[in-house]
Structure 1
């Protein structure tokens, strides 16, 4: 039996066990689960479904029958849609709506972010490996390749491309996630990183959009502005499709959609991340100026939130302050120490997940994230592929960064060198002062790793999560 036939058979058995296609009113899926809304839930043979080869578990959540399938969910979903004549990602008229509150809203936001970013993990892993090769083979470590060699230059720009053009890639995945035009999503992402816009930012030039002032930002490697923009773009495109005649829609809908989105993206949504970042970063810096306990708390909060701020592009204010401090004093005791323990906490989050996850495929992915962090100095795959995807591991990362930041603050650890890599070589950042400064700095990072690993291991996954209960047998085997 071919792989295609296995997925078809799996979908057929699931449909039969829930009472047939006529009993299904709505079908969709998330990262690992096929979600079915049934007209008569009593017809569902849940115990029989659990026995189907390839099914990892069955749960009723929010009025939906959720069948846990792991990484094969997309293929099974497509076959279920084909069997039931359901339109893919459009058969939603009978969707059960959960009660909206702070918790569900937060989960919806995280689900949306994960849905936009998870498809990009192959790009980030591949780019991370190329960046890792420049670090390992370059002058920083083995010195096999010089910075002027063609191979080093090739690996460097290939690795950078995966993150530099992230708004374009995210524009595509966000459009797929929200159900709008992927091409327009990519177009909007390309606008945000156009060289002319970046030149204006670099030269601190002003630009007005239809007469409205735009607070220009550098959106390369950012995700939040394009995700928010694509979500709004979907609403704009939907309205335009309703009011513009079909014979004119091909020309005017995409053109007017982008025309409307220009001020929305460049004047409102894009800068909003920077505004929030200024508020958070300004608050942390102001807190540190009071000294004593306030400084310790400030460093601890930077350690806890740094990776999230970087992920959303809200760390620019802290980076600007860091460069000002370093240029005048040659060292830093607030921002960079907090950022370093935050990076160590990502190592710990990966380590805890590696020890906890039983699924061989998922474990191997996280091992790849761990290597990307420690050797390549790239945390994005771990943040998006592990933290944002499963959500709860982020608790471990935040805890590890917070505890490490407290230790850094209590002992007044100083960073004397801005090392341009985020891998283990960054430990040399503490060199320049006393030996005790190095020892405490390295110890604080080690404690961050340990705390993050322990918290992730015990609290990073639900007890009934199939990933931590048993090894998952892939349907294709």
Structure 2
């Protein structure tokens, strides 16, 4: 098979005019995508006859050769043959069968788009959150060992700001990559939303219109939904111009026309709409946290890990991430999630003292995975689903910890790991918030461990001889 892929690569490269005619080449899920110096040089009919080639498409300034699902291996061989720099694959499958759109499918697509746009940002949010945690703990509000005027404090502070201030640019890139638009155009769109001149207009409060359309004066720094909506529209606008702009001019005019058309659409319609939706989202989540009281948090914390097991937690996490990034605080979802994680750890601890020696070693591995890596699935499946009764301890721990967090109005102020350092997310408000947050986690762990120990575990059925 390797020889066949190499032969396909060699034949295709020769057919498009050789490496001297190739400006760049990448691939998506099924196609080799060439940018050629002379688009008239390749003979499509001859390329289609190459064994392993399914078809040829010329679109968007690219000469695309369809080779199917083995395209990554063909691409690797092609780069070796031509001495090309390998590029990251484009997350797009133009040859996939069209699926009928249903309300369920539309909802699934929206969630996939949101998750694919925001999940890649977690490393940035984690790092920025940790920098904020250090300045808060070591600053004047707590330990007072790091003066605000010190160079280290200033460095950590702007490292945090860089993570959140430029969120529209980061999200613009990841959202465009997820949906199939050009990633750097998505980042460009995010940059437009936080351009210094735009922020100056917002600060001055001066009326401004684009092509006669009034623009709502809103600051989009540290925002999420405005760029999410804008990139979704950018995808269709860019795709339209790829179809109508001649291939010879596509590399210049497709991005130019796309941004020119998208600017008024984003600034006058979609970004303000995203800002309004964000405000209502924050109101709803804060309302549930406020009026649901301690009972609301207790219930969510007690069932949270079951939602994780079924994947049903995503529709709750994404709005909470949006609210946390835009308002700097979450009083519900992440608080409950932290209590639930510690309740799961408590379940593992309680089960440890009830398991036989040969089963304990596996449980220790599960526990380490959760404590250090923040991954609770091994405990959930290896202890919870396997023995069933320990789930009662996890539920009790989540219920108790969530109730305490609700009574004390505990809030999360930054993204933090879901492992033993989870408590750092409580840093940013008052010292009492941090203390009560830690107490809530201790309660979750202790109650879960004790209840699990007393309800015991079901013995694993022995195989019949």
After TM superposition, the score normalised by the length of structure 2 is 0.53
Corresponding position of 2:338 = 347
Contact 2:175 2:231 in 1 (8 A): yes
CA distance in 2, matches of 1:365, 1:93: 37
CA distance in 1, matches of 2:271, 2:182: 20
Corresponding position of 1:423 = 426
CA distance in 2, matches of 1:270, 1:448: 42
* Deviation (angstroms), 1:230: 1.8
Structure 1 residues 198 and 422, CA gap change in structure 2 (3 angstroms): farther
* Deviation (angstroms), 1:154: 0.5
Corresponding position of 1:311 = 321
Look up the SS of the partner of 1:312 in the other structure: helix
Structure 1 residues 177 and 403, CA gap change in structure 2 (3 angstroms): same
Contact 2:132 2:157 in 1 (8 A): yes
* Deviation (angstroms), 1:206: 3.3
CA distance in 2, matches of 1:418, 1:114: 21
Contact 1:139 1:146 in 2 (8 A): yes
Corresponding position of 2:460 = none
Look up the SS of the partner of 2:221 in the other structure: coil
Structure 1 residues 177 and 414, CA gap change in structure 2 (3 angstroms): closer
* Deviation (angstroms), 1:406: 11
Aligned residues: 319
Look up the SS of the partner of 2:214 in the other structure: strand
Contact 2:339 2:401 in 1 (8 A): no
Q: Deviations over 1:23-77 (max 9, x none)?
A: xxx958xxxxxxxxxxxxxxxxxxxxxxxxxxxxxxxxxxxxxxxxxxxxxxx99
Q: Deviations over 1:125-153 (max 9, x none)?
A: 33233223223332334333111100110
Corresponding position of 1:235 = 236
Structure 1 residues 89 and 205, CA gap change in structure 2 (3 angstroms): same
Q: Deviations over 1:220-242 (max 9, x none)?
A: 22222222222221211121122
Corresponding position of 2:163 = 162
Corresponding position of 1:213 = 214
* Deviation (angstroms), 1:298: 12
Contact 1:27 1:81 in 2 (8 A): no
Contact 1:299 1:405 in 2 (8 A): yes
Structure 1 residues 169 and 81, CA gap change in structure 2 (3 angstroms): farther
Look up the SS of the partner of 1:222 in the other structure: coil
CA distance in 2, matches of 1:188, 1:266: 10
Contact 1:171 1:189 in 2 (8 A): yes
* Deviation (angstroms), 1:262: 1.0
Unaligned runs of 5+ in 1: 1-7, 13-25, 29-75, 289-293, 320-335, 368-395, 432-437, 455-477
Corresponding position of 1:252 = 253
* Deviation (angstroms), 1:257: 0.8
Contact 1:170 1:227 in 2 (8 A): yes
Corresponding position of 2:127 = 126
Look up the SS of the partner of 2:149 in the other structure: coil
Q: Deviations over 1:374-394 (max 9, x none)?
A: xxxxxxxxxxxxxxxxxxxxx
Corresponding position of 1:366 = 374
Look up the SS of the partner of 1:156 in the other structure: helix
Structure 1 residues 264 and 358, CA gap change in structure 2 (3 angstroms): farther
* Deviation (angstroms), 1:111: 1.9
Pairing of 1:57-96 with structure 2 (within 5 A): 79-80=72-73, 82=75, 88-89=89-90, 92-96=93-97
* Deviation (angstroms), 1:171: 1.6
Structure 1 residues 404 and 196, CA gap change in structure 2 (3 angstroms): farther
Structure 1 residues 95 and 84, CA gap change in structure 2 (3 angstroms): farther
Q: Deviations over 1:175-203 (max 9, x none)?
A: 22222222221111111111232233344
Contact 1:170 1:223 in 2 (8 A): yes
* Deviation (angstroms), 1:255: 1.6
Structure 1 residues 165 and 283, CA gap change in structure 2 (3 angstroms): closer
Corresponding position of 2:273 = 272
* Deviation (angstroms), 1:273: 2.4
CA distance in 2, matches of 1:91, 1:407: 44
Q: Deviations over 1:325-357 (max 9, x none)?
A: xxxxxxxxxxx9xx4454422423554677799
Corresponding position of 1:181 = 182
Structure 1 residues 124 and 443, CA gap change in structure 2 (3 angstroms): closer
CA distance in 2, matches of 1:406, 1:128: 24
* Deviation (angstroms), 1:162: 1.2
Corresponding position of 1:195 = 196
Structure 1 residues 449 and 173, CA gap change in structure 2 (3 angstroms): farther
CA distance in 1, matches of 2:296, 2:244: 52
Is residue 141 of structure 2 the alignment partner of residue 140 of structure 1? yes
Pairing of 1:277-356 with structure 2 (within 5 A): 277-279=278-280, 295-296=291-292, 300=296, 309=319, 311-313=321-323, 339-351=330-342
* Deviation (angstroms), 1:215: 2.4
Q: CA RMSD in A?
A: 5.2
Structure 1 residues 296 and 234, CA gap change in structure 2 (3 angstroms): closer
CA distance in 2, matches of 1:244, 1:127: 42
Corresponding position of 2:419 = none
